Amino acid sequence: MQLEIQSKHPHTTRWLWVEWEPEKEQDKFLELAAALEEIDFILDPVFPSPVLGFHTRTFYKPGSDLFEGWTVTERKSNLGALRRAFRVLELDPVPSRKLTFRDLI
């Protein structure tokens, strides 16, 4: 299972990108999804078709700022809760990546 915390400009709101093989890692994905639901992260209903046996999904948490962005306080709180969930599931460390325009096209 591959995990990555991603953001796009202006990099105030983050989401979690997850890629896994359903045949091998379905239980681990369901465990992760349950842990993220406990801290109010939502499974994005829009997702790409599976490629070569891998599934890709994203989880996000809406904020109270403009366009559901996170405030500075929410960012610290949400990232802290996310990191704690990763430690409990023994998935730490999870890398962060600031997406560029090139990544998004």
Average pLDDT over residues 73-86: 91
Residue with tokens 């430690």: 87
Its pTM stands at: 0.83
- pLDDT at residue number 31: 94
- pLDDT at residue number 13: 85
- pLDDT at residue number 30: 93
Q: Is the N-terminal amide bond of 93 cis, ω within 30° of 0?
A: yes
- pLDDT at residue number 64: 82
Q: 64 versus 39: which is more confidently predicted? A: 39
Share of the chain above pLDDT 90, in %: 44
Helix 72-88 to helix 22-38 angle, to the nearest 10 degrees? 130
DSSP 63-96: -SSGGGPPPHHHHHHHHHHHHHHHHHTT-----E
Residue with tokens 């559901």: 68
**Euclidean distance between CA atoms 55 and 49, whole angstroms:** 7
In tens, the pLDDT along 16-59 reads: 999 998 888 889 999 999 999 999 999 998 877 777 788 899 99
Q: 11-15, 29-33, 36-40, 93-97: which has the minimum mean pLDDT?
A: 11-15
Examine the pLDDT at 66 and tell me if it is beyond 80: no
Examine the pLDDT at 12 and tell me if it is beyond 90: no
